[in-house]
A and B are shown apart, each in its own frame.
Chain A
Amino acid sequence: MTDVMDTPTSGAAMPTLRVEYAAGERASGAAEIVPQLRSELGLDDQDAPLETPRARPLHQRSLDDNASLIGSAVGSLALVWLLYERVLPLSGTIGFVVCWFVAFLVIYSAVTSMVYPRPMVVDRIAQAVVTSGAAIVGFALAWTIIWIFLQGLPALIHLNFYTEDMAGVGLNDPLTKGGIKHAIVGTAIQVGIATAIALPLGVGTAVYMTEVGGRLSRTVRTVVEAMTALPDILAGLFVYALLIITLGWQRSGVAAALALAVTMMPIIARSAEVVLRVVPGGLREASLALGASQWQTVRRVVLPTAKAGLATSLILGIARIAGETAPLLIVSGASSFFNANPANEPMNSLPLFIYDAVRRPDGLTIQARGYGAATLLLIMVLVLFVVTRFLARDKGPSR
């Protein structure tokens, strides 16, 4: 019990501030700078009443809990195996697991109701169902990631996969020839341009929503949230209708980057707003009371305090648009050669390359390259995620 108790260790030495966000983003910088500021300001002696209450662990697993859980699981497995595989004319993995789960619930509730009243039975069943639901989701995620890694490995182990392009390489040429340099560079350039456009606009919108406010800002917030879930293909259609039909541009890397920027801006705006909102109001007031203007307050106090959190939201935005395929299908042509000029000539990118490659007939090496590119894309997203976690955990001075 003691090792999971969350009681403050020595008086109020470590004030803990627990902040929860409605949309699931974890912004960190602001929440973690507060204890540090407090200790610098010498406020630690008197802050006991300010500490946010934390949930105390109230549940402990007893021997009875564990024994009935494991016993029911093993018993139902044995029963279902006997009936399903040996007695009844049934087969199939999914069916087996479903039958096992149902049998487990029945046996578990029977075992519990031998000793405990009905609310306890319901409680245990609910816990089993909730845990299995989460387990199914985790299982699907793990399966997806492991599967794509296994598929991508054959292409990824060749160095030329990263240093050559596909110009003049046939669909069934061995993996030691040709690579996806053109797609990697294309994705990097497009994401770079999109970020350069979306970051100032997104952070500006977030500053508008949190610092300036007003009735209009609530409308903007609602619209931004609605845009976050706007179908990705519509960003492509919009850029197509605006730039290519109305203004007569060609399909190019810039058009693709603009479509990505349209997708990215609301994502950054929304998560940056969450981050800026947790910057303590007291910091703003202190700055204003010292005679700083609002612009100075935002530039010198609010944004530096939220720096780590803003970096997190930037990375989440990049991770999201790096894998966008649908808008690129519309505004950017695919190509097999290297092109570092986003303004003209078609420019390939990782998602387009994957989409194109995996739709080829089975058995060709181009398919293996497609899976390799998909794995590379996933690795990129994973790396960005680890960086995000690292930034979120970084408790060092973020000024």
Chain B
Amino acid sequence: MTVLDERPPAFQDVAEPRVIDPGLPTADRTFRGVVRVIGLFVLLLTSAIGIFLGLQAVPTLQKYGLSFFTETQWEPRSNTVGIAAVFVGTIEVALVALAVGFPLALLTALFISEYAPPRLKSSLVSLVDLMAAVPSIIYGLWGFMVLQPHAIHLSRWLATYLGWIPIFHVDTDATSASWQQSSFTASAFIAGLAVSLMVIPLACAVMRGVFALAPLGEREAAFALGSTRWGMVRAVVLPFGRGGIIGGTMLALGRALGETIAVLLIISPTFDIKWNILSVGTNTFSALIAGRFGEATATQLSALLTAGFILFAMTIAINTVAAIFVNRSRSGAATEI
């Protein structure tokens, strides 16, 4: 079979094929360029946050050296500042928030995706979104005014019966009839409870989203094999959603580490490394920064910005790991008609 060359004679002996890709039109090249610049701007902005805080941190680190990480006191007047106590306090508050928030977020996500009546589902989802949108200062107020008077009873109970565990120990006689309420207020435990309210919707939304993606076929296969609903959840939904559970929890941890205003309203600042979370006083990075910023001198500002830089490094690391976990359990493909 012969191929007829239908090109005009003048072109028939041209050996190489013509370029048929016209390239992108100018409008598209501009569009792609602009959009790419915007995307790069976001990358730049994140690195700029790191760079600017990092630059401000240099003089502080030069001045105090390693003692900045080991010193517990924060007294710029006598030239001793360090973040050891705030670091421990931040971790304590975040861990309390996670210890309370993680189970509740997981149960709520399971309830919405597996147990709630189908008609209520979308309302429940937007209730969780609403919970995430309530300003943190309102949770802080509620935690301080309403939760604290109730939570100190729980603190007292823990101190009475579990006081032999070091973290639950309180230096007061918790069992006496006229117990000292003020030794239990303003603690890392209560701040953590208030913060847990803020991390629950975040973790719950991520978890629920991943649970909802658990394949329908496998769910029905589990039921067809005679599984109960809990059996199906354990065998299909939870293994499928493991990435989302881990990712959501880490996002929650990132949020809990940086929560400012609720912690600032509840705690009374102290600067010792304290392992007993129930007793009065603690401090966190963000509460330290917000609390000391107004009265800060130039040296102290630099020290506060250094503390901010360390908080930035901590959270960005945790959040990036979380984002990788969440992304892995989700496909990036477009929806097809």
User: Other CB < 8 Å A-B pairs besides A144-B142, A220-B43, A266-B42, 14 of them?
Assistant: A20-B209, A26-B122, A119-B230, A143-B142, A208-B36, A223-B42, A229-B315, A233-B286, A234-B308, A240-B305, A241-B53, A283-B337, A294-B24, A323-B138
Q: What CA separation (Å) do A262 and B116 show in the bound complex? A: 37
Does A269 sit within 8 A of B, measured CB to CB?
Answer: yes
- From A92, A209, A266, B39 is in contact (CB under 8 Å) with A209
Contact with A along B149-164 (1 / 0, CB 8 A): 0100110010000000
Report the contact-size class of chain B (Cβ under 8 Å from the partner).
35 or more
Does B80 sit within 8 A of A, measured CB to CB?
Answer: no
- From B36, B115, B323, A212 is in contact (CB under 8 Å) with B36
- From A22, A94, A235, A277, B209 is in contact (CB under 8 Å) with A22
| A window 207-252: CB within 8 A of B | 207-212, 216-235, 237-238, 240-242, 245-246
Chain B residues within 8 Å of A382, by CB: 130
| B window 6-34: CB within 8 A of A | 24-25, 27-28, 30-32, 34
Provide the main secondary structure of the chain B interface. helix
Chain B residues within 8 Å of A377, by CB: 135, 137-138
Does B136 sit within 8 A of A, measured CB to CB?
Answer: yes
Do the beta carbons of B107 and A123 come within 8 Å of each other?
Answer: no
**7 intermolecular pairs with C-beta atoms under 8 Å apart:** A34-B337, A123-B230, A130-B115, A208-B38, A222-B327, A293-B25, A355-B261
Most buried by A among B111, B122, B137, B329: B137
**Interface locus among B65-73, B199-207, B271-279:** B199-207
Contact with A along B85-113 (1 / 0, CB 8 A): 00000000000000000011111101110
Do the beta carbons of B231 and A123 come within 8 Å of each other?
Answer: yes
Contact with B along A21-47 (1 / 0, CB 8 A): 111111000100010011000000000
Do the beta carbons of A242 and B228 come within 8 Å of each other?
Answer: no
Do the beta carbons of A280 and B337 come within 8 Å of each other?
Answer: yes
Contact with B along A121-141 (1 / 0, CB 8 A): 011001101111110111011
Quote the shortest CB–CB distance from B54 to chain A (angstroms). 10
Do the beta carbons of A295 and B27 come within 8 Å of each other?
Answer: yes
- From B32, B229, B301, A294 is in contact (CB under 8 Å) with B32
Q: What CA separation (Å) do A245 and B55 show in the bound complex? A: 11
Chain B residues within 8 Å of A314, by CB: none
Do the beta carbons of A57 and B258 come within 8 Å of each other?
Answer: no
Chain A residues within 8 Å of B132, by CB: 320
Does A316 sit within 8 A of B, measured CB to CB?
Answer: yes
Does A120 sit within 8 A of B, measured CB to CB?
Answer: yes
Known interface pairs A227-B46, A234-B311. Does A4 touch B206 (Cβ–Cβ under 8 Å)?
A: no
